[in-house]
Amino acid sequence: MTNFITALVLGAFFGFSLNKAGLTKYNKIVNVFRFTDMAVLQFMMTALVVAMSGLFALRGLGLITFPAVPATYIVGNIIGGLIFGVGMALTGY
Amino acid sequence: MKFVLNYIRREEWSPYVAGILLGIVGIAAVWLSNSLLGASGAFENLAGMIGKALAPAAFDNMYFNFIMPPGITYGVMLLVGVFFGGMIGAATSGTLKWGKKDAANSDSQWKRIFGASTAKRWALAFVGAIILEYAAGIAGGCTSGLAISGGMLLAPAAFLFIAGMFASGIVTALVIYRKNY
């Protein structure tokens, strides 16, 4: 139950940051593929850098253990990514 | 303090600031509940739940029994939070379009390329969403669940996925926009 409340709160912050970065808008998502607005990449890569340095620092201090890392199956990941890009540019998700 | 409040009211933040916030959320998800920020899996959990209730035989397979167990999971709650978080974000900047006239189709760029039809927008979004969800099922996650959450754990899958996503996204945008690219 506490886990569900944590999920709700974290989700709210997640949605909030997406909205403020403008990623809830169709034009932001499509324009990154047209190289006219790089907000999606700036947002994603900043999040990645902050999270990965924080997580690996915390693991180094022994405060957290990692959950199951998403499985790597090269062909599936690439094909999935290729199809995903089509949907992303169509919908603006 | 006033500066912070004013910044929260702005419609559009610097993507770097919003990215830092998402990074902290990603760390918190691992620290507090030892899970990742997935969004697309929740739809499969819900679809599995509805499917099991309506047609148990059709949904009695490997995928829905083991890979994506149906039910109200952590991811579903996260998705509910994302919905309300997005609404809060829009409400603080005064752009919440709940019940407004152009709420269903308000993107001027979309209208310029595809025309003003709201039905067309919804149909395209529906088709695109099916493609998205199917691809997320193949790859093992979407932008948030695989690219960001996997990337922050340095999973090779995430970077393969990002490469594929941008390669085909650029080609699709080229095809859709043609002269306007």
Cβ pair B82:A7 closer than 8 A: no
Tallying the residues shown for chain A, one arrives at 93
**In terms of Cα–Cα distance, which of B124, B134, B136 is closest to B172?**
B124
For helices B156-177 and B118-139, the axis angle rounded to 10 degrees is: 150
Integer angstrom CA distances of residue B166 from A64, A90, B174: 32, 13, 12
pLDDT at B95: 79
Q: Which residues neighbour A28 within 8 Å (Cβ) at sequence distance 6 or greater?
A: A21, A22, A37, A39, A40, A92
pLDDT at B60: 76
Lowest mean pLDDT among B26-35, B59-68, B122-131: B59-68
Closest residue in chain A to residue B156, using alpha carbons only: A72
Q: Does A57 touch chain B (CB under 8 A)?
A: no
Q: Does A47 touch chain B (CB under 8 A)?
A: yes
Closest residue in chain B to residue A17, using alpha carbons only: B18
For helices B156-177 and A26-33, the axis angle rounded to 10 degrees is: 90
Tallying the residues shown for chain B, one arrives at 181
Q: Does A60 touch chain B (CB under 8 A)?
A: no
Cβ pair A51:B152 closer than 8 A: yes
Q: Which B-chain residues 37-96 have CB contacts (< 8 A) with chain A?
A: 37, 74-75, 77-90, 93
Taking all residues of chain B, what is their mean pLDDT, rounded to a whole number? 85
Q: Does B4 touch chain A (CB under 8 A)?
A: no
- The stretch B91-118 carries a mean pLDDT of 79
pLDDT at A50: 94
Closest residue in chain B to residue A12, using alpha carbons only: B85
- The stretch B84-110 carries a mean pLDDT of 81
Backbone angles phi, psi at B73, to 5 degrees: -105, 180
Percent of chain A at pLDDT > 90 equals 49
- Within 8 A of A59 by CB-CB distance, chain B residues are none
Cβ pair B77:A93 closer than 8 A: no
| pLDDT confidence bin for B161, thresholds 50/70/90 | very high
- Within 8 A of B172 by CB-CB distance, chain A residues are 33, 85-86, 88-90
Lowest mean pLDDT among A30-34, B28-32, B115-119: B115-119
Q: Which residues neighbour B39 within 8 Å (Cβ) at sequence distance 6 or greater?
A: B75, B78, B79, B82, B142, B143, B144, B145
- The stretch A64-86 carries a mean pLDDT of 88
How far apart CA A30 and CA A47 sit, in angstroms, is 20
**pLDDT over 80 at B63, yes or no:** no
pLDDT digits (tens, 9 = 90+) for A4-17: 899 999 999 999 99
pLDDT digits (tens, 9 = 90+) for B12-35: 889 999 999 999 999 999 998 888
**pLDDT over 80 at B64, yes or no:** no
pLDDT digits (tens, 9 = 90+) for A38-69: 889 999 999 999 999 999 999 999 888 888 88
**pLDDT over 80 at B44, yes or no:** yes
- Within 8 A of B79 by CB-CB distance, chain A residues are 11
- The stretch A80-92 carries a mean pLDDT of 90
pLDDT at A46: 93
**What is the value of pTM for the model shown?**
0.89
Closest residue in chain A to residue B135, using alpha carbons only: A80
